[in-house]
Structure 1
Amino acid sequence: MIDLPRRLVAEALGTGLLVAAVVGSGIMAETLTTDVALALLANTIATGAVLVVLITTLGPISGAHFNPVVSLVFALRRELPGHAAGLYAMVQIIGGVLGAVAAHAMFALPLLQASTTIRTGGAQWFSEGVAAFGLVATILAGLRFERRAVPMLVGLYITAAYWFTASTSFANPAVAIARAFTDTFSGIRPLDLPGFILAQIAGALVALALMTWLLAGSTGDDLPLNPEDPS
């Protein structure tokens, strides 16, 4: 079993690189085009692609959660100790903020910013609940039936969810918090964070409840993407 310090570094690194890709590709897109749809497409492709890479390469070390609600789900499934889940969430948030800072540094922008992009309202919150629900459902079903496909499944899901949710599918409290520190294409106003985070947690918990029932007794290897598993 890989020791906890190395797993925490992997979670921080993965979340940081994910946020750097989200924020950096948004900045690059805004620099190269005034077409908002094209900018969103560029942002989408970069995010989906980097997720596949990060989950594939860091998954064997930490489980590649990169997301506090994913860590929460595994803790509730008793596949990750509660104290480890709390530490995962902490380093995910820290890594995410550092990822935003790194993106700003690459584009010679002020390192720390406060976003002014308003993202609020019932439709946005519901979208985030749907986004988190779909992400957790994808992970749990993927682990049950086709573990090796999980990196691709998650990358493809987020790529699609960017476009079918009104919120562009943050689906991740750590990423949402980090995006509050960038006043660029991918930002979110700090005041709007609580609604997003509560919706993400709610969506993840609903997915956990439904998928626990739906997958009960179904066939598959059922190998959790979880470094605590000794098998």
Structure 2
Amino acid sequence: MRLRQKVTAEFVGSAFLVAAVIGSGIAASRLSPEDVGLQLLENSVVTGAVLVALILALHPVSASFNPVITVLERVLGTIPTRVAAALVAAQVAGAVVGAVVANLMFDEPAISISQHVRTGPGLWLGEAVATLGLVVIVFGTLRGADRSRVAFAVGGYILGAYWFTSSTSFANPAVTVARTLSDTFAGIAPASVPAFVLAQILGGAAGLGVVTLLHPRRSDTATLPSVKARS
């Protein structure tokens, strides 16, 4: 598979993922203005469903949509440094475009810096836990007997993690950065991003340790570039 195709798939997938996260957040806040719980339900269901669809459609080419997953692929030796760097750049660029498009679809300014401060030890722990779980789900499913289930495993996990983590499971540095560009339901203030990303990195590292312990074989991970995840 050519690098150009992989980069395009990561860009498109990340753009649609962020558009789903932010767009459904805006729609939810307008449709259910008095019920935050219902807003979160609407936002999480849409995100999980779109994530499943994107992974199913794009995984023959590349469907990580997440710098943490891509970097761990590099650590595991399944992709070279040059490819990993290109995919991460595509993920961030696609996520930014997705945020802008979501804003414009709902007649919001193309870019509006979020004022939604998300900070505190509980939220940081929530992000670490969310990312740890995502890594275990992604690589654990891929190292299992039926890789075709990864889309449903990841989509289901993200839907659930919206609810059981205090941070609502961003679990993705590219998505986190993009969400600073929308001062809406799904936004996050720029000042809150560094701690979130650090928690995601730590959670990803811990997740890799768990996967390595549970699934020590490496031969069955030779083609990981084809799948993975969120938001």
**Does the alignment reach a TM-score above 0.5?**
yes
**TM, length-normalised to structure 2:** 0.94
**Aligned equivalents of 1:6, 1:13: Cα separation in 2:** 11
Deviations 1:101-157 (A, max 9, x none): 000111111001100001011111110000000000001110011200000000000
Runs of 4+ in structure 1 off by over 6 angstroms are: none
Q: Residue 192 of structure 1 corresponds to which residue in structure 2?
A: 192
**Aligned equivalents of 1:222, 1:100: Cα separation in 2:** 32
1:86-165, aligned counterparts within 5 Å? Answer: 86-145=85-144, 146-165=146-165
**Aligned equivalents of 1:221, 1:171: Cα separation in 2:** 25
Q: Residue 211 of structure 1 corresponds to which residue in structure 2?
A: 211
> Which amino acid in structure 1 is aligned with residue 182 of structure 2?
T
Is contact 1:16–1:97 with CA below 8 Å preserved after alignment?
A: yes
Q: Residue 67 of structure 2 corresponds to which residue in structure 1?
A: 68
1:17-28, aligned counterparts within 5 Å? Answer: 17-28=16-27
Q: Residue 33 of structure 1 corresponds to which residue in structure 2?
A: 32
Question: CA offset at residue 222 of structure 1?
Answer: 5.0
Question: CA offset at residue 179 of structure 1?
Answer: 0.3
Deviations 1:181-205 (A, max 9, x none): 1000000000000000010011011
Q: Residue 168 of structure 2 corresponds to which residue in structure 1?
A: 168
Q: Which runs of 5+ in 1 are unaligned?
A: none
Is contact 1:71–1:89 with CA below 8 Å preserved after alignment?
A: yes
**TM, length-normalised to structure 1:** 0.94
Is contact 1:112–1:181 with CA below 8 Å preserved after alignment?
A: yes
> Which amino acid in structure 1 is aligned with residue 85 of structure 2?
G
Higher mean C-alpha displacement, 174-183 vs 84-93: 84-93
> Which amino acid in structure 2 is aligned with residue 93 of structure 1?
V
Identity %: 46
SS in 1 for 2:137: helix
Is contact 1:143–1:223 with CA below 8 Å preserved after alignment?
A: no
Q: Residue 229 of structure 2 corresponds to which residue in structure 1?
A: none
SS in 1 for 2:59: helix
SS in 2 for 1:192: helix
> Which amino acid in structure 2 is aligned with residue 129 of structure 1?
A
> Which amino acid in structure 2 is aligned with residue 175 of structure 1?
V
Deviations 1:87-107 (A, max 9, x none): 111111110010010001111
Question: CA offset at residue 84 of structure 1?
Answer: 1.1
What is the total number of aligned residue pairs between the two structures? 224
Question: CA offset at residue 224 of structure 1?
Answer: 3.9
